[in-house]
């Protein structure tokens, strides 16, 4: 369904004002591969993912996205990836469906309903997200990342706050889409690492 996407990270470093977070991280992943990034708390996993998503800038290094042979320019990346992170908060005053519609690019209502019922939120679809529990919010985040069936999926701690049923849904979804998608997961959970084909430990790379 998708053309071959690939993602190349070349010697990315990030320094906040006073501290070095990580240095010279390189890896690459292609469609069909799932990649994990692990490391102790504060080692910069989330930052790494946000840099790949383009919402933060790296101090040094380059990132290449390509589809087939063609490189995707920085401005068009939005439409090619899905991103989720505990730092991405849906709007409290909107319902789940409205949040998803806001994030997606022209998805039909049936598709949204389908996703909502898949993640078990269909009964709550007309409630404001502000009234959701944190696990339900996490489900909304996951739907937002996956709704457009993006070629590249960046997941930052995807199973945080999820109960075991939620995790099962998430893992089966990942299984379903993994052969058409580049998946990058930043996590410390063993179950999630087991899903992946390869990965790095940021902290070890630093040494």
Partner 1 sequence: MQSRIFKNLRKDFLIEFRNRSAVNISFAFAGITTLSVSLACGGATLSPQIHSVLLWIIIFFSGMSGLSHIFIREEEERTSLFLALHSDPENIYLSKLVFNIILFSCITALVTPLYLFFMQVVPAYTVYFILTAASGSLAISSITTILGAMVAKAESRSSLFTVISFPVMIPVLWISIKLTSDSIEGGAPPELRSLLFLLAFSGVIISVSYLAFKFIWTEQ
Partner 2 sequence: MVLYRLIFIFMPVVIYMAFMWAPPAAILGDASRILYFHVPVAWVSVVAFIVSGVQSILFLVTENRRREREYMAYNSAAAGMVFTILTVITGSIWAKLSWGSYWNWDPRETSIVVLMLIYIAYLSLYSSLKEHPNRGGISSVYLIIAMITMPFFIFIIPRIYSSLHPDTIINQEGKIHLEPAMRITLFSSIVTFTLLYGYIYRLMNRISRLEIKAEEKHYDI
Cβ proximity of 28 and 176 under 8 Å: no
- The partner in contact with residue 138, picked from partner 1, partner 2, none with C-beta cut-offs of 5 to 8 angstroms by kind, is none
Summarize the chain as % helix, strand, coil (round to 5).
40, 30, 35
Output the DSSP codes for 92-109.
TTSBHHHHHHHHSSS--H
* End-to-end CA separation in angstroms for the chain: 40
Q: Counting every residue, how long is the chain? A: 207
**String marking each residue 93-122 x if it binds partner 1 according to CB under 8 A:** xx---x---xx--x----------------
Residues 15-54 within binding reach of partner 2 (CB under 8 A): 15-20, 23
Q: Judged by CB under 8 A, which of 20, 55, 131, 165 binds partner 1? A: 55
207 lies in the site for partner 2, by CB under 8 A: no
Report the interface residues with partner 2, using CB under 8 A: 15-20, 23, 56
Report the interface residues with partner 1, using CB under 8 A: 50, 53, 55-57, 75, 78, 83, 85, 87-94, 98, 102-103, 106, 128, 144
């Amino acid at each position: 369904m998708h053309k071959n996407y690939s993602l190349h990270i070349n010697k990315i470093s990030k320094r906040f004002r006073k501290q070095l977070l990580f240095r010279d991280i390189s890896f690459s992943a292609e469609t069909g591969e799932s990649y994990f990034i692990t490391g102790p708390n504060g080692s910069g996993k989330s930052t790494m993912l946000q840099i790949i998503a383009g919402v933060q800038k790296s101090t040094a290094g380059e990132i290449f996205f390509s589809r087939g042979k063609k490189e995707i320019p920085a401005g068009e990346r939005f439409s090619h990836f899905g991103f989720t992170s505990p730092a991405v908060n849906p709007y409290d005053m909107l319902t789940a469906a409205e949040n998803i519609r806001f994030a997606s690019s022209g998805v039909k209502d049936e598709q949204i309903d389908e996703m909502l019922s898949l993640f078990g939120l269909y009964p709550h679809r007309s409630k404001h997200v502000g009234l959701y529990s944190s696990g339900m919010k996490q489900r909304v985040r996951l739907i937002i990342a996956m709704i457009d069936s993006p070629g590249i999926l960046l997941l930052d701690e995807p199973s945080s706050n999820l109960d075991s049923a939620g995790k099962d849904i998430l893992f089966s979804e990942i299984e379903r889409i993994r052969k058409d998608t580049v998946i990058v997961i930043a996590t410390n959970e063993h179950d999630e690492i087991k899903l992946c084909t390869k990965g790095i430990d940021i902290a070890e790379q630093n040494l």
